[in-house]
Structure 1
Amino acid sequence: MTMINHTMVTTFILLGLTEDPNWQIVIFLFLLITYVLSVTGNFIIILLTLLDHNLKTPMYFFLQNFSFLELSLTTTCVPRYLVSIVTKEKTISYDACLTQLFFALFFAISEFFLLAVMSYDRYVAICKPLHYTIIMSHRVCYELLFACCFIAVLSITPAAVVSQTLEYCDTNIDHFFCDYPPLLKITSTDTRILEYANFILAICILLISLTLVISSYANIIRTVLKIPSTQQRKKAFSTCSSHMIVVSISYGSCIFMYIKPSAEERVSLNKGVAVLTISVAPVLNPFIYTLRNKQVKQAVEDLIKKCVLNTLKQ
């Protein structure tokens, strides 16, 4: 195979999920429906948390930003692939590929640490209710959000710098978006050290954020079990159950995708898991939070009533 220096590469070819025309139609319809539902669901949550005064709390501030990250992550990857299925144009420029890679990783890593922050918020609300407004002040909320984004940028920067120094022996990326493992697969550079470094980084990101989540919920469970009233215990667990489901989906899929040392062995299976993470999870999360949250459901009902009344008045 002819060696291609990274400085000569101007475009890559994203092979997508399948070459079968029939399956491409199915995949297109599936991704289009899930993308529309994801945009709609997450946009509604963002809109509700901005407009409803009852949702002006730290919990819904973090939910609003989590929905924004979910919306951004799926928008970074899915629309471009939908266009490529329709137009049959699979090429993506070198710069656009690295940009997509950067933002996909940025939004994903930010989500992990934001989930940890949301767990901490629930810990303070349940375990230290009298000090909640002091501990989770507006300033602290913004600082925690900034910390999530800063850690994400800090984590991505080494990989982003190294990606621009790699040499490639192929331009075909076996994925539907620019992800790090399939990029490493087509390099002519010896990437063993780089792969293990990324493996360790992925472990650190997931373990640190997951440890924060588990420690928060361990304290929450201890506190809740001490509550004498069964009804109050159920109410306390109910406020955390939606978040725990989202955490399970997010961490489960990403541990499967990234906690393996070899880029070669995980690319084919990862495409299916990537669809779950980037397309399906952003659809499920709004429903998980709304269907299990009385305040959000009430806010939805109020918004619908306002829209109906405004329409009737006109």
Structure 2
Amino acid sequence: MDHGNHTWTQTFILDGFNTSGSLRPVAFLGTLCIYLLTLAGNLFIIILVQEDSGLSTPMYFFISVLSFLELWYVSTTVPTLLNTLLHGPSPIPSAACFIQLYAFHSLGMTECYLLGVMALDRYLAICRPLHYHTLMSRQIQIWLAGATWVAGFSAALVPASLTATLPYCLKEVAHYFCDLAPLMRLSCVDTGWHAQVHGAVIGLATGCNFVLILGLYGGILTAVMKLPSATSRAKAFSTCSSHMTVVALFYASAFTVYVGSPGGRPEGTDKLIALVYTLLTPFLNPIIYSLRNKEVKEAGKRVTDKFRTVLREP
């Protein structure tokens, strides 16, 4: 068998979810609504941070970068999910499949790094308040944000290129998008060492960032507990609560899929868990940051009033 011809001549089939005929339109419309609301919510956050001077702080700059990332992240997988919900198992050209794999993991690892940078921002704001604006100047903010994208897109090159160069003998991907484990199961060769390399690269990116976030929040907790009044402690915690919620959601679901033992879970569970970080987390992020944040609510009111005034003018 000529393994060299397999990778680029093949069209994969995305299985998607085994939804029955009557449930399919409901699942499709529900997913489409969540997707459109996700795009609208994240765009709203970006516009708000750009338009309102009250949100011109490092924390909101990073929140707007996260929202920008989420627009792309959700758009790498949801269109193929919608396609499989509408048409059932759907073909995807191998080139498109590997591009999706690379984009998904690049953006996922960029988000890991960005969540680490956001934790660092909160740490400096609470633990080094006198030096905060010097340590988080506009130039440093842009540099840190750019570094997260470079790091994420560089790290994802390893698993994506290794998977793309495998010879494939099977076509059916047991997922609604091209992910590492479902693709490797279709290879003609043993992928044991590939899985170890993927685990090391993804584990290093996510694990190191997670340890960094825990360490920074340990420092934040220590500093906050030393604050004299209960009001100042509550205020300090409130600036971190949204970020902590997002971190918990993102890491809990990602670790379950990529660190847990796939053999110990019923078939199809990974697809359901993947929905949490591919669809639910990007959808919830703008809600978490706006509903739990007085400054965002006030900025939203100011920007809405501004647009209303502009529209009323002849």
TM-score range, shorter chain: over 0.9
Note if 1:310 corresponds to 2:292.
no
The whole-number CA distance in structure 2 between the counterparts of 1:73 and 1:218 is 29
- Residue 38 of structure 2 corresponds to which residue in structure 1? 38
**Which consecutive residues of structure 2, in runs of 5 or more, have no partner in the other structure?**
none
Q: What is the TM-score when the length of structure 1 is the normalising length? A: 0.94
State the Cα deviation string for residues 23-64 of structure 1 (Å, max 9, x = none). 322321221111011001100000111111111111111100
CA distance in 2, matches of 1:68, 1:151: 17
Name the structure 2 match of 1:236.
Answer: 236
Match of 1:212 in 2: 212
Contact 1:77 1:100 survives alignment (8 Å): yes
The aligned residue for residue 61 of structure 1 is: 61
Mapping 1:130-279, distance limit 5 Å = 130-260=130-260, 268-279=268-279
The whole-number CA distance in structure 1 between the counterparts of 2:200 and 2:83 is: 35
For residues 262 and 284 of structure 1, do their structure 2 counterparts lie closer, same or farther at Cα, with a shift above 3 Å needed?
A: closer
CA distance in 2, matches of 1:110, 1:266: 30
Which ranges of structure 1 fall in alignment gaps of 5 or more residues?
none
* The 10-residue stretch of structure 1 (154-163 or 44-53) with the greater mean CA deviation from structure 2: 154-163
Paired residue type of 1:290: S
Q: Distance in 2 between matches of 1:68 and 1:266?
A: 34
Pair 1:113 & 2:142 matched: no
How far 1:262 moved relative to its partner? 5.7
Amino acid at match of 1:137: S
Map of 1:14 onto structure 2: 14
Supply the AA of the counterpart residue of 1:303.
Answer: V
The Cα shift of 1:243 comes to: 0.5
**Counterpart in 2 of 1:97?**
97
1:265 deviates by 6.4
Work out the CA distance in 1 between the residues paired with 2:265 and 2:298. Answer: 47
Letter in 2 for 1:118: M
Question: How far off its partner does 1:86 sit?
Answer: 3.3
Percent identity, please: 36
1:27 counterpart residue number: 27
Inter-CA distance 274–39: structure 2 relative to 1 (3 Å threshold):
same
Contact 2:8–2:95, Cα closer than 8 Å, also in 1:
no
Which residue in 2 is equivalent to 1:122?
122
Could you tell me how far apart the structure 2 residues matched to 1:206 and 1:158 are? Answer: 15
Cα deviation 1:58-83 (Å, max 9, x = unaligned): 11111001011111111111123323
Normalised to the residue count of structure 2, the TM-score between the two structures is: 0.94
Measure, in 1, the Cα distance between the counterparts of 2:309 and 2:270: 48
The AA in structure 2 aligned to 1:250 is F
CA 302–284 in structure 1, closer or farther in 2 if over 3 Å, else same: same
Does residue 300 of structure 1 match 2:300? yes
- 1:2–1:169 CA contact under 8 A, matched in 2: no
Distance 1:5 1:27, change over 3 A: farther
Q: Provide the C-alpha distance between the structure 1 equivalents of 2:261 and 2:45, rounded to a whole number of angstroms.
A: 37
Q: Tell me how far 1:157 sits from its aligned partner.
A: 1.3
Report the Cα distance in structure 2 between the residues aligned to 1:3 and 1:58, rounded to whole angstroms.
Answer: 51
The amino acid of 2:244's aligned partner reads M
Give the partner amino acid of 1:127.
C
Shift of 1:304: 1.6
Deviation at 1:276, TM superposition (A): 1.2
Contact preservation (8 Å) 2:48, 2:300: yes
In the TM superposition, what is the alpha-carbon distance from 1:89 to its structure 2 partner?
A: 7.2
Letter in 1 for 2:269: L
Counterpart secondary structure, 1:18 = coil
Cα separation, 1, equivalents of 2:29 and 2:124: 43
> Greater shift after overlay, 16-25 or 47-56?
16-25
1:263 positional shift: 8.1
Measure, in 2, the Cα distance between the counterparts of 1:35 and 1:303.
Answer: 24
C-alpha distance 263-45 of structure 1, shift in aligned 2 (>3 A): farther
Aligned length: 314
Match of 2:22, SS? helix
